Structure 1
Amino acid sequence: MMKQPDQMGSYVAEDVTFLLRDLSNAALEITNDKREQLIQAGTHYSEMLPVEYQPTTAYMKLFYNTLESHAERVAVAIGVVARQIADRHDVERLVLVSLARAGTPVGILLKRYLYIYHHINIPHYSISIIRGKGIDETAIRYIFAQHPQASIQFIDGWTGKGAITQELLASCNKWNARYEDKLDAALAVLADPGHCATIFGTRTDFLIPSACLNATVSGLVSRTVLNTNLLAADDFHGAKYYVELQDVDVSNFYLNRITAYFEKVQQAVQQHTLEQGTITWQGMQDIQKIQQTFEIHNSHFIKPGIGETTRVLLRRVPWKILINPQYINELQPILLLAKERDIEVEEYVDMAYACCGLIKEL
């Protein structure tokens, strides 16, 4: 009998279905310092959760300002990605599958765009993928049960080093070797500074406002969990639904602000020249240089790009933040978080990324 996911999240049902098991009653949150110690000692990050960052008034003001200044750019990227997805797939079989949780708001915006301008109502699910563990195969089986012969398009927010791209590729190869229903590992993202995605809005590292916050811009859903003490082997991956944060939830506000720009950017989207999505893993060359320059023995301690640097500041223990001054207009949230946490900021120009977070070795 097919397992059923739990209903969760603050998004409307028409926007997305989370294929997750609700673990809201489990005590999974651990302070950043303790969590970092456990991760560096060998505990997998997916077995626990960081404490949700509670933004200051100054940081939330910066988030709203960033949203207003970047909404149009995000809307253009959504349109550009939607064009590529529509060209790539038989839309009658197309199913959007976001990688929770950074991919979820992007998937919703793509679903809305495709409905408005391509007149197709595409099913959209959000599922878990975990580095070192793979994709949630129970969720994939559920999708194929609901949509036989589905043409699945995987979606994420951005790329860093390409770890999730590699995880997705390995998971799809593993699935395709065993099942008749095939998966295409081509990943669609808004920003691909690492040159490791097939479909992208831009390869420039730019600030996607949803990267600034955690659950409160992601449908009040935590990052995903794979803890065998709480989940059966054949169950969905888990997550928590932070209903208690609903008074500060901006998830739907964020989506509506971006959607409001769709009509304005139509000409720019149609005139955009689509680049060939050749994967070169160029970002890894920057990582190797940083690793040598700063004598970092483990590349997992290097998190490049605006989205990943924000994650380092919100839920890891940073050592220092490298910033590329030519991208300074994208970096105000990064600089404010670094100031709040008293983390050293250093200029570093020898990278294609706007910034890079370096994790402290404990």
Structure 2
Amino acid sequence: MKQLLSVHEGQVADPSPIGSYKPGDVVFLLKDLSGVELERGTEDREEAIQSGTHYSEMLPIEYRPSDDYIGLYRQTLLATAGKVAEAVAVVAEQIVAKRGAGVVLASLARAGTPIGVLIKRYLHTYHGLDVPHYSISIIRGKGIDENALKYMLRRHPEGNIQFVDGWTGKGAIRKVLIEACGSFHDRYGVRLSDDLAVLADPGCCSATFGTREDFLIPSACLNSTVSGLVSRTVLRGDLIGPEDYHGAKYYRELEEDDLSNEYVDTIEAQFEAVREAAREKAGRLLAETGDPVTWQGERDIRAIQRDYGIDDVNLVKPGVGETTRVLLRRVPWKILVDDAANPNLAPILLLAADRGVPVEEYPELTYSCCGIIRPLKGDSA
């Protein structure tokens, strides 16, 4: 494996240190673009995306979190810390059972990064494993960062890579991962597992998950200030060369607002209380037969597209995590909910009210809710 990669490709450089996590928690395999102006306002960015500019060629403005958003985040964290910790533990137990002691964690930047940090800490505390953990870029429509994969394979030639993310929506990133792993095998002869370990998988598109319940993972409430002060990833030809990692910015100016370490420390403190229940649940999941990946949620999305006359499926963002992101950094049109009395929806309803976004009940959703981005063309707007 190592020889094949070395013969056919130039050496990939060691990564530059970025991110605000504690030393040893994670290595970001990203090119630091902190000095480049990449941000565009919400309306301007939305218009560019819907006009054909790829979302990875620019960044949303990284606003300093308001007191209201911080309050929402802290309220959500207090309410769900135990639930998140149990989901982390369930996933970690499955990972070590499936991948063994040689596992290498590859979290998908940036929502997957805090989850990877937590899994790494759990495996160290309860299995005595000091597993490598990297955060790498994967981009819908462009694929995974192959230079990052090569770096991990050279550093850990006997390692078993496990991809990690926070949650799934309609499964778009899982599909990109499946395609990327197939392409990587065709090009380099190295077969990687396209299994994507996530805390919440309401759409039934991952085989390794902590829960299928669609609840708000608190890190979805904030952006870089809960993800190591790292931006979304960037891939643009004038900035990223053939031997570069995908890019990202490190927002040092937000250090006073950084909650990244507090977040993972708060969740980690709940591990002991949930460990036994998590081990039992992981055991049940591992013993189940049949394919757990049914893509059930995808059928919901097609129905919503039909019922609301939406041409572009990428304007439909299912699940609590993705709906929160629509409300925080896109231009929302409306929010669909399975039941307005669903307790998981309290943060969504608060944000929707604050932004004046209408909420409609859409019974029998696979998800708790679904955010629809306002189409800027056609009659839907």
Instruction: Classify the TM-score, shorter chain.
Output: over 0.9
8 Å Cα contact 2:12-2:243 kept in structure 1: no
Deviation at 1:325, TM superposition (A): 1.9
* 2:285 maps to 1:274: yes
8 Å Cα contact 1:149-1:181 kept in structure 2: no
C-alpha separation in 2, matches of 1:252 and 1:325 = 34
Give secondary structure in 2 for the equivalent of 1:246: helix
Q: Which amino acid aligns with 2:208?
A: I
Deviation at 1:309, TM superposition (A): 0.7
Q: Which amino acid aligns with 1:318?
A: P
* 2:229 maps to 1:215: no
* 2:275 maps to 1:261: no
Q: Which amino acid aligns with 1:274?
A: L
Give the aligned partner of residue 95 of structure 2: 85
Q: Which amino acid aligns with 2:357?
A: I
8 Å Cα contact 1:53-1:314 kept in structure 2: no
C-alpha separation in 1, matches of 2:80 and 2:242 = 42
Give the aligned partner of residue 204 of structure 1: 213
What are the superposed Cα offsets for residues 281-300 of structure 1, whole Å, 9 maximum, x if unpaired? Answer: 10011101111111112211
Q: Which amino acid aligns with 1:229?
A: D
Q: Which amino acid aligns with 1:120?
A: L
Q: Which moved more, 1:156-165 or 1:339-348?
A: 339-348
8 Å Cα contact 2:69-2:221 kept in structure 1: no
What are the superposed Cα offsets for residues 43-99 of structure 1, whole Å, 9 maximum, x if unpaired? Answer: 0000000012433312211211210110000111111101110110131x2100000
How do residues 205-244 of structure 1 correspond to structure 2 at under 5 angstroms? Answer: 205-244=214-253
TM-score of the superposed pair, with normalisation by structure 2: 0.92
Total equivalences in the alignment: 361
Paired residue for 2:147, among 127, 138, 143?
Answer: 138
Deviation at 1:234, TM superposition (A): 2.3
* 2:175 maps to 1:166: yes
C-alpha separation in 1, matches of 2:371 and 2:22 = 34
Give secondary structure in 1 for the equivalent of 2:242: coil
Give the aligned partner of residue 111 of structure 2: 102
Give the aligned partner of residue 29 of structure 2: 19
Deviation at 1:327, TM superposition (A): 6.4
8 Å Cα contact 1:59-1:333 kept in structure 2: no
C-alpha separation in 1, matches of 2:63 and 2:349 = 16
Give secondary structure in 2 for the equivalent of 1:307: helix
C-alpha separation in 2, matches of 1:170 and 1:258 = 33
8 Å Cα contact 1:77-1:190 kept in structure 2: yes
Give the aligned partner of residue 322 of structure 1: 336
8 Å Cα contact 2:29-2:148 kept in structure 1: yes
Q: Which amino acid aligns with 1:10?
A: S
Deviation at 1:31, TM superposition (A): 0.5
Q: Which amino acid aligns with 2:355?
A: R
What are the superposed Cα offsets for residues 189-236 of structure 1, whole Å, 9 maximum, x if unpaired? Answer: 000011000100011111111111100000000010001111112210
* 2:299 maps to 1:288: no
* 2:375 maps to 1:361: yes
RMSD value over aligned CA atoms?
1.3
Give the aligned partner of residue 300 of structure 1: 314
Give secondary structure in 2 for the equivalent of 1:175: helix
Give the aligned partner of residue 114 of structure 1: 123
Give secondary structure in 2 for the equivalent of 1:331: helix
Deviation at 1:173, TM superposition (A): 0.3
Seen in structure 2, the aligned counterparts of structure 1 residues 354 and 156 have a Cα distance that, compared at 3 Å, is same
8 Å Cα contact 1:221-1:242 kept in structure 2: yes
Q: Which amino acid aligns with 2:89?
A: G
Give the aligned partner of residue 69 of structure 1: 79
Give the aligned partner of residue 178 of structure 1: 187
Q: Which amino acid aligns with 1:62?
A: L
Runs of 4+ displaced beyond 3 Å: none
Q: Which moved more, 1:339-348 or 1:150-159?
A: 339-348
Give the aligned partner of residue 5 of structure 2: none
C-alpha separation in 2, matches of 1:22 and 1:180 = 30
Give secondary structure in 1 for the equivalent of 2:364: coil
C-alpha separation in 1, matches of 2:195 and 2:47 = 34
Deviation at 1:336, TM superposition (A): 2.3
Give secondary structure in 1 for the equivalent of 2:134: strand
8 Å Cα contact 1:327-1:354 kept in structure 2: no
C-alpha separation in 2, matches of 1:52 and 1:336 = 21
* 2:351 maps to 1:337: yes
Unaligned runs of 5+ in 2: 1-10, 377-381
Unaligned runs of 5+ in 1: none
Q: Which moved more, 1:327-336 or 1:256-265?
A: 327-336
C-alpha separation in 2, matches of 1:50 and 1:354 = 26
C-alpha separation in 1, matches of 2:334 and 2:63 = 19
Give secondary structure in 2 for the equivalent of 1:300: helix
C-alpha separation in 2, matches of 1:350 and 1:33 = 32
C-alpha separation in 1, matches of 2:150 and 2:68 = 44
C-alpha separation in 2, matches of 1:151 and 1:201 = 20
